[in-house]
């Protein structure tokens, strides 16, 4: 009875570890599915922002010819910045960040509370710096109130490069005319920031370049942004998948936890066994502690094997953790029976019977744990309850055989043993008879094929008779030989 309780406790501990590993796997998969569902929403919102930007530009800017030929691209840039900026934030799951202030106020856009004035101006060759000066003279408190100027990305990069270029290098590498930035451009940028009313930090780049917001190309610009959003979405989904994959770190955690749990269970059971012998802890001998330590160490090793096997089987094959744990348990049990067979403590029939019983008990444990987890959907607890109930029921049924049924089983086993002995005896008799027949047959062959003609003739006759040839057809006399070859 005590041994059954120990086995049940150990089985519960094993299935608890399996349920915990399964719970870890489920959390990882649930997190992946949740991330993918959120990403569906993120992509949908981002694409909607692009569509709304295209629709607003078409209806409120292009259709109404707002800003005219020279100023239309400025309004296109404002709406496009809102659409692209919001979409890039939304696809990352961060929500919309831009708002378009469509009322000719000092602020064109608001980004998370920051007022922005956009200047997409190329006339005069000043990269929009002249337009910034005009706006600042009209609204001198714009920067002091926390505002910011936003200019095309390509303009910002050119201004930044010129502002950072030392005078000696400017004189050496820049020309007074020709393609690209000139020495005059460099001087213009330096003069703009010289009085300190506007710093380079008061400027920021747009997400778009000047040429991308012209009337003829804004649709293709926003169409390319849609493709970019899809690419970003795929990258985010792949990142979520990579994060959800089984990892060596989590496998190590599962292995260490299983080793600690199984080693701890082995320690408790070993101490309990010593206490049942009537020994108190203070009376333990050195050998007692060696026995306890040995059992604990073996349990920890088995737990390590169980942990890494559970993690591998439940993640890299379609094997539930409860079933994986039972496979490992059965493997340990069968390995022990194989050792007993090798050292001669059990015979082959006992080995087969014991391994069948071990496999059956492991299957009952796995099935009970799975059903328990379904009926009691509480991580670990459901598996332990299911395993306890299923194991107790199985052992109650397995020990309820009547004496008659037990006698039938024993009689069947005895009949099998007697049959084995009888068949072994008959096999030996057949082997001896076969050996004798083969000896006579080989002797006949030697005489039939002897170099001595007379011996060969006599041997051939004997061989023919032995093989069942009719005596009338055997050439065993001079008359029969003459009649066969001459008549």
Considering the entire predicted model, what is its pTM?
0.59
Q: What is the pLDDT of residue 90?
A: 96
Rounded mean pLDDT of the chain? 76
pLDDT band at 150 (very low <50, low <70, confident <90, very high): very high
Q: What is the pLDDT of residue 323?
A: 61
Backbone angles phi and psi of 148, in degrees to 5: -145, 145
Interatomic CA distance for residues 134 and 125, integer angstroms: 15
Q: Give the other-Cβ count within 10 Å of 246's Cβ.
A: 16
Q: Give the other-Cβ count within 10 Å of 366's Cβ.
A: 27
Name the 3-class secondary structure at 188: helix
pLDDT band at 338 (very low <50, low <70, confident <90, very high): confident
Question: What own/partner pairs with CB < 8 Å and gap ≥ 24 does 276-281 have?
Answer: 276/2
pLDDT tens, 26-72? 777 788 888 999 999 999 999 999 999 999 999 999 999 998 988 89
pLDDT band at 418 (very low <50, low <70, confident <90, very high): confident
Stretch 406-418: mean pLDDT: 71
Interatomic CA distance for residues 135 and 110, integer angstroms: 17
Which of 22, 2, 16 is closest to 365 using CA atoms?
Answer: 16
Where is pLDDT greater, at 345 or 149?
Answer: 149
Select the highest-mean-pLDDT range: 120-134, 358-372, 455-469. 120-134
Q: What is the pLDDT of residue 318?
A: 57
Where is pLDDT greater, at 1 or 173?
Answer: 173
Select the highest-mean-pLDDT range: 168-177, 328-337, 466-475. 168-177
Which of 306, 299, 297, 298 is closest to 255 using CA atoms?
Answer: 306
pLDDT tens, 274-288? 666 677 766 677 777
Q: What is the pLDDT of residue 324?
A: 60
Q: What is the pLDDT of residue 376?
A: 41
Q: Which of 59-68, 183-192, 429-438 has the lowest mean pLDDT?
A: 429-438
Where is pLDDT greater, at 127 or 139?
Answer: 139
Interatomic CA distance for residues 82 and 98, integer angstroms: 5
* Tokens found for residue 271: 């101490």
Q: Which of 5-14, 140-149, 242-251, 289-298 has the lowest mean pLDDT?
A: 5-14
Cα dihedral across residues 268, 274, 277, 280: positive or negative: negative
Backbone angles phi and psi of 424, in degrees to 5: -65, -40
Q: What is the DSSP code string of 301-320?
A: HHHHHHHHHHHHHHHHSS--
Please list, in sequence order, all residues whose beta carbon lies within 8 angstroms of the beta carbon of residue 190, skipping any fewer than 6 positions away.
Answer: 162, 163
Q: Give the other-Cβ count within 10 Å of 12's Cβ.
A: 19
Where is pLDDT greater, at 383 or 347?
Answer: 347
pLDDT of residue 337 exceeding 50, the answer is yes
pLDDT band at 380 (very low <50, low <70, confident <90, very high): very low
Which of 372, 258, 269, 263 is closest to 325 using CA atoms?
Answer: 258
Furthest C-alpha separation in the chain? 148
Q: What is the pLDDT of residue 33?
A: 87
Stretch 12-37: mean pLDDT: 72
Which DSSP state fits 203?
A: E
pLDDT tens, 98-113? 999 988 789 999 999 9
Q: What is the pLDDT of residue 483?
A: 66
Report the run of H or E that residue 294 belongs to, with start and end: helix 286-316
Which of 152, 126, 150 is closest to 203 using CA atoms?
Answer: 150
pLDDT band at 3 (very low <50, low <70, confident <90, very high): low
Q: Give the other-Cβ count within 10 Å of 16's Cβ.
A: 21
Q: Give the other-Cβ count within 10 Å of 343's Cβ.
A: 8
- Which residue matches tokens 């003739």? 457
Q: What is the DSSP code string of 321-361?
A: HHHHHHHHHHHHHHHHHHHHHHTTSS-HHHHHHHHHHHHHH
Q: What is the pLDDT of residue 42?
A: 94
Between the CA of residue 334 and those of 63, 393, 443, what are the distances in Å? 82, 23, 52
Q: Residue 104 in contact with residue 71, Cβ under 8 Å?
A: no
Q: Give strand pairing partners of 182.
A: 175
Q: Where are the beta strands (DSSP E) in 32-145?
A: 98-100, 109-111, 114-118
């Amino acid at each position: 009875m005590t041994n059954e309780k120990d086995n049940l406790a150990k089985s519960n501990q094993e299935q608890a570890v399996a349920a915990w590993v399964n719970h870890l796997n489920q959390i990882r998969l649930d997190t992946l599915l949740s991330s993918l569902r959120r990403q569906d929403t993120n992509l949908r919102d981002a694409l909607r922002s692009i569509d709304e930007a295209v629709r607003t530009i078409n209806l409120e800017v292009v259709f109404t010819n707002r800003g005219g030929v020279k100023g239309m691209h400025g309004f296109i840039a404002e709406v496009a910045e809102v659409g692209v900026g919001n979409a890039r934030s939304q696809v990352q799951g961060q929500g919309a960040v831009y708002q378009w202030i469509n009322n000719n106020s000092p602020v064109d856009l608001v980004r998370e509370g920051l007022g922005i004035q956009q200047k997409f101006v190329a006339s005069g060759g000043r990269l929009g710096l002249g337009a910034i000066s005009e706006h600042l003279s009209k609204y001198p408190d714009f920067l002091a109130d926390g505002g910011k100027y936003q200019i095309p990305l390509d303009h910002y990069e050119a201004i930044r490069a010129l502002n950072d270029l030392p005078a000696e290098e400017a004189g050496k590498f820049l020309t007074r005319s020709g393609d690209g930035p000139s020495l005059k451009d460099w001087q213009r940028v330096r003069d703009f920031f010289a009085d300190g009313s506007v710093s380079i930090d008061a400027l920021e780049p747009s997400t778009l370049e000047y040429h991308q917001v012209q009337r003829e190309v804004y649709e293709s610009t926003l169409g390319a942004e849609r493709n970019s959003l899809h690419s970003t979405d795929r990258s985010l989904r792949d990142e979520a998948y990579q994060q959800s994959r089984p990892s060596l770190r989590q496998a190590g955690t599962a292995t260490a936890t299983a080793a600690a749990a199984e080693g701890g269970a082995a320690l408790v059971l070993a101490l309990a066994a010593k206490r049942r012998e009537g020994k108190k802890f203070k009376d333990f001998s050195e050998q007692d502690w060696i026995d306890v330590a040995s059992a604990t160490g073996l349990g920890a090793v088995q737990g390590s094997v169980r942990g890494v096997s559970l993690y591998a089987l439940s993640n890299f094959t379609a094997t539930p953790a409860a079933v994986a744990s039972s496979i490992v348990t059965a493997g340990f049990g069968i390995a022990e029976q194989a050792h007993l067979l090798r050292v001669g403590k059990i015979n082959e029939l006992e080995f087969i019977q014991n391994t069948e019983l071990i496999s059956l008990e492991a299957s009952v444990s796995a099935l009970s744990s799975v059903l328990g987890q379904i009926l009691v959907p509480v991580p670990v607890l459901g598996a332990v309850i299911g395993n306890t109930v299923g194991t107790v029921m199985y052992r109650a049924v397995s020990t309820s055989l009547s004496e008659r049924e037990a006698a039938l089983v024993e009689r069947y086993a005895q009949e099998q043993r007697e049959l084995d002995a009888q068949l072994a005896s008959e096999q030996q008799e057949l082997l001896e008879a076969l050996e004798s027949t083969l000896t006579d047959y080989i002797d006949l062959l030697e005489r039939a094929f002897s170099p001595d003609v007379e011996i060969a003739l006599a041997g051939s006759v004997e061989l023919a008779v032995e093989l069942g040839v009719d005596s009338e057809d055997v050439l065993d006399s001079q008359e029969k030989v003459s009649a066969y070859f001459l008549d």
